[in-house]
Amino acid sequence: MKHKILIASLIFTLSFTLMGFINSRCKIAINECKIMIGIGYKQTKCNGDNGLSVSEAIDYFGTANSFSNYGEMKNTIRATLLQFNRINENDIIFSSSSKPYAVVISYAKRISGWNCTIKRMAVGFGNSLAEAEEDAEIKKNNDANRSVSYRVIKIFSCG
């Protein structure tokens, strides 16, 4: 009889322990950091109507939220950019991460041979602010010359 009570007590304790562990793991997943940023682009012509057509960044909008899903965040960003800019839905590039920091940088890209300079933006993510800025700078360097200067225009963080 004592063995049955001991076994029942052990099963009862184990099940409650496991339920608490599963519940705490779900809370961690729900509260995970999510950052999403959208950059709106417009087509610009270098050297007039017959010139080269290039994409120029015109605006950005982003959100850092621990409780929304990416779909809700994307809809909010899309609606905001479309409301305040003359762009199409297809002219928005989204970037997202579950890392706790994001940096948006702006820089001028020279289009060689066309006597044209356009505004560009890059988004970087990281586990620290410095890492996020470095990631954005690497993306800028892949798009423009390494010597092109930039400025940080927005920092996002979770928490």
State the pLDDT confidence band at 14, using cuts at 50, 70 and 90.
very low
Residue-range domain boundaries for the chain:
1-30, 35-157
Q: In percent, how much of the chain has pLDDT > 70?
A: 79
The average confidence (pLDDT) of the chain is 83
Residues recorded for the chain: 159
| pLDDT computed for residue 113 by the predictor | 85
Handedness of CA 149, 152, 158, 159 (dihedral sign): positive
Rounded CA-CA distance 128/131 in Å is 5
| Dihedrals phi, psi of 15, to nearest 5 degrees | -65, -40
CA dihedral 74, 25, 131, 81 (to 10 degrees): 10
Is the predicted pLDDT of residue 3 greater than 90, yes or no? no
Helices (H) and strands (E) in the chain, counts: 3, 6
Q: What is the pTM of this model?
A: 0.77
Closest to 153 (Cα-Cα) out of 119, 97, 102, 106? 106
Rounded CA-CA distance 100/159 in Å is 8
Q: pLDDT tens, 40-88? A: 999 988 887 788 999 999 999 998 886 678 888 999 999 999 998 888 8
pLDDT greater at residue 97 or residue 24:
97
The DSSP result for 125-155, as a single string, is: EESSHHHHHHHHHHHHHHHS-TT--EEEEEE
State the pLDDT confidence band at 2, using cuts at 50, 70 and 90.
low
| pLDDT computed for residue 10 by the predictor | 45
